[in-house]
């Protein structure tokens, strides 16, 4: 696990871009539940950090593809998937499992 920020830095409704071992990762706090996904869209590598979030569905700002931040999957049978990471709150800090 890699510590990435203080728990206070990610309140419900917020997102945060962090860098871990050369990877760009976006953390989300959706109604108190923490999620983390790779910041690169699997379609063309566009940054997902500024995408529109509707519930747990994140829209890629480049071409509009949608990904569920809980699973990393697109709705439907397309097969495109963004990497997800487990997030843990430990002693007032947030940590991500990179493996």
Query: How high is the pLDDT of residue 37?
Result: 97
Rounded to the nearest angstrom, the gap between the alpha carbon of residue 61 and the centroid of all alpha carbons in its chain is 14
Closest Cα to residue 36, out of 44, 28, 46?
28
Query: How high is the pLDDT of residue 76?
Result: 83
Sheet holding 66-68, edge to edge: 52-54, 57-59, 66-68
Query: How high is the pLDDT of residue 77?
Result: 80
Rounded to the nearest 10°, the torsion over CA 60, 17, 38, 75 is: -40
Paired tokens of 79:
């097969």
pLDDT means per 10 residues, the chain with 99 residues, are 92 94 94 96 93 96 95 87 95 91
**Residue-range domains of the chain with CATH:** 2-96 (2.102.10.10)
């Amino acid at each position: 696990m890699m510590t990435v920020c203080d728990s206070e830095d990610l309140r419900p409704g917020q997102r945060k871009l962090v860098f871990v071992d050369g990877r760009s990762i976006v953390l989300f706090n959706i109604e108190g539940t923490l999620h983390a996904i790779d910041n690169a869209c699997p379609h063309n590598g566009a940054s997902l950090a500024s995408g529109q979030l509707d519930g747990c569905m994140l829209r890629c700002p480049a071409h509009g593809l949608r990904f569920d931040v809980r699973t990393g999957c697109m709705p439907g049978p397309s097969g495109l998937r963004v990497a997800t990471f487990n997030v843990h709150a430990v002693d007032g800090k947030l940590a991500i499992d990179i493996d």
